[in-house]
Amino acid sequence: MVRINSRLAAVALLLTTTTAVSTQVASGFAASDGSIKFALNIPQNDASEDLYFSMQGSSSLSWMAIGMGNNRMDNTLMFMVYADSTGQNVTVSPRLSYGHTEPSYTNNVTITVQPGSGIANGNMTVHAICTRCRSWKGGSIDPTSTAQKFIFATGPDGSINSNSGSANIKRHASYGAFTMDLTKAVGAAGIPIIAMSDSAGTVQTQDKTDHDFSAPLHAVAMVGAFVILMPAGVLILRVFKSPRLHGWNQTVSAIVAVLGAMLGIYAGTMYNRSRNWNSAHQLFGTIIILAMIGQFVLGFMHHRIYKRTQAPTKLAPYHIWLGRVVIPAGIANGFLGFPLALNSKYNWALLALTLLMVIGFVPLWFWRYKRDANKMPLGMASDSDGYQSQPWNSGPSSSDINLGVYDGQQNYPPQPMNYPPPNYHYQNPQEGRQFV
């Protein structure tokens, strides 16, 4: 242990001597997780309000940022860096943050990127000058402070490839805070070299990996509800003919979807692109969730009335048709959701899962269809649950409305049970099956 420590000390010494090669006056910070390195020079000719800085992180990062003026996001001025449209150089976006949401671009300060910046050799490197950068609405930095507060953050892997200062970003993957002795940064103006380690007076005060799972959980809940649970609920009714299980299953589906929607609402508050609730995914999602709740109420009411009257209700067709709209609409809205989360590639996974469900369900439907067709007269019995009945298609010709699945049943007007149709034959009486 002692030997390891002395070796570390030797390495640290080596690093310090390497850093000391710089002639530029600067304060440096190197995050303990290696995610980001930052160096700051404050020109002593104070009238300019300029700052010179350098920043480096892995080229795999979608973005990296240093914020000045606080140890959390509120009231900080940030230098946010991401790949430009060529992918070879960087866009440095000054952003202001007033709360724990995505910081917003400001054109109140000007950042000019200097030679030596770019994305190469696995590094994303910035050398830049920021003018009018020492104070901003809500905050400032003080060149006489020996413990000026800063924050740092890096996004998940990816490349934003945008020249726009207000490009959409994903939430940080890791973040933290540090303080720097700015008195050591004041000197002749000049771009500082990348800090390989903390300079004297720099203290990292926080280091965290992100633990906000609201957006991924929202996706899992919604896909689970609309792509798996709800179609399974339809299958339970149509193929396995169990209104009771159907009711339970769709209750669970609705609860999962409502909880998922609440997670989505929360996730939406964090990003500039969704904060105002005006994206298509959010607008359609709101309508779909309301329709889904309506669908749940319809199904519940239908069941209540049916239990009392033992006859098909007027609500059944609305329930059936609303279901046919709500489920596909919910799935379609997922295809708008992933791009909003800057995760368009998951649309392929959603497409695959949707196709898989269709491929899995169709044989079951077909199996049921053939089974029902074979015992056509008895099939009428399952009308007695009241869910299959649609007042307008009691005639044989309109069976296609029901996707052709219920030909056997729909040829008979829904009627109270135990009313044998004209050609009813008794050779296969399975009385028990009539009561679901």
User: Cβ distance 267 to 215 under 8 Å?
Assistant: yes
User: Cβ distance 218 to 289 under 8 Å?
Assistant: no
Taking the least distance from each CB to ligand NAG, the nearer of 163 and 398 is 163
Minimum distance from residue 72 beta carbon to ligand NAG (Å): 18
CB atoms within 10 A of CB 240: 12
Pick one of 81, 180, 194, 236: the residue that binds ligand NAG (CB under 6 A): 194
Contact flag: residue 108 with ligand NAG (CB under 6 A):
yes
Minimum distance from residue 210 beta carbon to ligand NAG (Å): 23
Tokens in use for 420? 């044998």
Contact flag: residue 176 with ligand NAG (CB under 6 A):
no
Chain Cα centroid distance, residue 329: 18
Residues in Cβ contact with 39 at an 8 Å cutoff, skipping those fewer than 6 apart: 26, 27, 28, 29, 53, 54, 55, 192, 193, 194, 195, 199
Q: Single out the residue of 180, 81, 161, 158 nearest to residue 125, CA to CA.
A: 81
Tokens in use for 33? 């997780």
Contact flag: residue 107 with ligand NAG (CB under 6 A):
no
Q: Which segments within 114-271 are labelled E, that is strand?
A: 118-120, 123-131, 135-136, 139-140, 148-154, 174-180, 186-187, 203-209
Chain Cα centroid distance, residue 131: 36
- Phi/psi at 268 (nearest 5 deg)? -65, -25
Pick one of 19, 97, 117, 382: the residue that binds ligand NAG (CB under 6 A): 117
Minimum distance from residue 117 beta carbon to ligand NAG (Å): 5
Pick one of 19, 35, 41, 56: the residue that binds ligand NAG (CB under 6 A): 56
Contact flag: residue 18 with ligand NAG (CB under 6 A):
no
Minimum distance from residue 193 beta carbon to ligand NAG (Å): 8
Taking the least distance from each CB to ligand NAG, the nearer of 15 and 362 is 15
Contact flag: residue 137 with ligand NAG (CB under 6 A):
yes
Minimum distance from residue 110 beta carbon to ligand NAG (Å): 10
Contact flag: residue 113 with ligand NAG (CB under 6 A):
yes
CA torsion sign, 430 to 370 to 330 to 213?
positive
Binding residues for ligand NAG, total number by CB under 6 A: 18
Considering only residues 84-103, where is the footprint of ligand NAG by CB under 6 A? 88-89
Contact flag: residue 163 with ligand NAG (CB under 6 A):
no
How far apart, in Å, are the Cα atoms of 287 and each of 292, 330, 338? 9, 10, 18
Contact flag: residue 121 with ligand NAG (CB under 6 A):
yes
User: Cβ distance 38 to 119 under 8 Å?
Assistant: no
> Looking at 40-48, 132-140, 153-161, 390-398, which segment touches ligand NAG (CB under 6 A)?
132-140
Task: Tell me the per-residue interface mask from 244 to 273 with ligand NAG, x by CB under 6 A, - otherwise.
Answer: ------------------------------
The H or E element that residue 302 is part of is helix 280-309
Contact flag: residue 123 with ligand NAG (CB under 6 A):
yes
Pick one of 57, 118, 247, 330: the residue that binds ligand NAG (CB under 6 A): 118
Minimum distance from residue 356 beta carbon to ligand NAG (Å): 40
Name residue, tokens 């976006």: 93
> Looking at 4-12, 106-114, 153-161, 343-351, which segment touches ligand NAG (CB under 6 A)?
106-114
Per-residue H/E/C for 352-367:
HHHHHHHHHHHHHHHH
> Looking at 112-120, 156-164, 345-353, 376-384, which segment touches ligand NAG (CB under 6 A)?
112-120
Residues that bind ligand NAG (CB under 6 A): 56, 88-89, 106, 108, 113-115, 117-118, 121-123, 132, 135-137, 194
